[in-house]
């Protein structure tokens, strides 16, 4: 089995600017609290993914996201097994996205206390 391709939030933002689709697999209440403020974004909760897989195009780059990168990694493998080739997992999830100061909507303060990332560090993606 092939390993999933994992990318950081910085790479994800670059891919989004080039037309990639972000698929957020968090629950609706999580998304209502804080979410990505980018074009080409859809929310399909992980427990509904199998029923809504046809909403995810195979002809675009897809970046799977969640809170911390764990649920989205599982769904990245799910899509790979379903024949998706241009699918990526965003490591560290929206927690790292918020820590980087990337575009969001909602209560980002609720996630900032979760992040242990010092994004001033040179090894932070």
pLDDT in tens, 104-116: 999 988 886 665 4
94 lies in some domain: yes
19 lies in some domain: yes
CATH of the domain at 52: 3.40.250.10
The CA–CA distances, whole Å, from 51 to 47, 74, 78, 97 equal 9, 16, 12, 28
Q: Catalytic annotation on 66?
A: yes
67 lies in some domain: yes
Shortest CA distance to 72 belongs to which of 93, 58, 42, 56? 93
90 lies in some domain: yes
* Residues contacting 119, CB < 8 A, separation 6+: 99, 100, 101
61 lies in some domain: yes
pLDDT in tens, 44-66: 999 999 999 999 999 999 999 99
Which among 66, 119, 124, 125 is annotated as catalytic?
Answer: 66
| Residue 92 near residue 8, CB atoms below 8 Å | yes
Give the domain range for residue 48.
Answer: 5-110
123: pLDDT strictly greater than 50: no
The structural domain count of the chain equals 1
Strands 34-36, 21-24: parallel, antiparallel or unpaired by DSSP? unpaired
């Amino acid at each position: 089995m092939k390993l999933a391709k994992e990318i950081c939030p910085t790479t994800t933002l670059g891919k989004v600017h080039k037309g990639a689709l972000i698929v957020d697999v968090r629950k609706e209440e999580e998304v209502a609290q804080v979410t990505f403020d980018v074009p080409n974004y859809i929310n399909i909760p992980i427990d509904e993914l199998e029923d809504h897989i046809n909403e995810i195009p195979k002809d675009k780059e897809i970046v799977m996201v969640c809170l911390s990168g764990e649920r989205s990694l599982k769904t990245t493998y799910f899509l790979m097994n379903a024949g998706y080739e241009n699918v990526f997992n965003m490591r560290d999830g929206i927690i790292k996205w918020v820590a980087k100061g990337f575009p969001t909507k909602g209560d980002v303060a609720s996630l900032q206390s979760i992040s242990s990332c010092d994004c001033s560090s040179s090894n932070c993606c």
